[in-house]
Amino acid sequence: MSVLAATLKRAEIGAKTRRTVIGDNVSCLPEIYQDDVNMAVWNRSLDPLLRASVAHLVSTDPGLQVSLMTTPRSAYTSLVKLLPDSDTHVLAEDVACLVDMFAYLFDIEHVGLRLTVLRGAMCPRFHVDKVPCRLISTYVGPGTQWLEHRTVDRSKLGPSASLESDHERGTYTAEQDIRVLESGAVGLLKGEAWDGNEGAGLVHRSPSSEDTSRLLLTLDFGR
């Protein structure tokens, strides 16, 4: 790519505007299809039975790592086999419902599912995902951190050999720029592979959680 073409490309990316849609009802999630939306968040409250199921799983299986390719029809059955304790079946039912919703929303048959208990930051630096769209939900513990499009210096994203923090690198200006997904919330994060969203993927990172466990669910387009 020539210097002129690269300059024009950077200008095109810098001119893009993106916003986040946040609501208390699942009906806000289809807003992710709007060209200027790079994240849709359903802030939901987990009922007591679901919270108890999550707490039981985290306490009895602190090293849990579930990764599978599934479908709406098979998700619950597959999860029950992997989480055989009956006290976790309420959680399995909720995850299966999110799989069904995700597959229906994007008209896909297969869904990549990961359900993991974490201590510490899995992805400690701000970054974008090279996927069309990813569902993220933290059932318990600190939620995913993210930045609004207008507050990010995207030239500072990417791997670095230095020990500089995101703030020291200038990825964002002030600590108050950092937003956090609430525990239990369902977030749809539009990535760089969404058609027309190059240079505008949702910038996010894992929270620091060395002192507490978090149960993280991610759903991706299946292959």
At residue 2, the pLDDT reads 52
Question: Of residues 151 and 100, which shows the higher confidence score?
Answer: 100
The neighbouring-strand residues paired with 23 are 42
Tokens for 122, please give them: 């899995």
| pLDDT tens-digit map of 164-203 | 677 667 677 778 888 899 999 999 999 999 999 998 999 9
Cβ count near 64 (within 10 Å): 17
- What CATH number is given for 3-221 in this structure? 2.60.120
Mean pLDDT of 49-57: 94
Instruction: Give the global pTM.
Output: 0.87
Q: Domain extents for the chain?
A: 3-221
Q: What band does 6 get if pLDDT is binned at 50, 70 and 90?
A: very low
- Over the chain, what is the mean pLDDT? 87
The pLDDT value given to residue 149: 86
pLDDT at site 120: 61
SS (H, E, C) the chain: CCHHHHHHHHHHHHHCCCEEEEECCHHHHHHHHCCCEEEEEECCCCCHHHHHHHHHHHHHCCCCEEEEEECCCCHHHHHHHHCCCHHHHHHHHHHHHHHHHHHHHHCCCCEEEEEEEECCCCCCCCECCCCCEEEEEEEECCCCEEECHHHCCHHHCCCCCCCCCHHHHCCCCCHHHEEECCCCCEEEEECCCCCCCCCCCCEEECCCCCCCCEEEEEEEECC
pLDDT in tens, 112-133: 999 999 876 566 788 889 999 9
Question: Rounded CA gap, 146 and 156, in Å?
Answer: 15
Band of pLDDT at residue 4, cut at 50, 70 and 90: very low
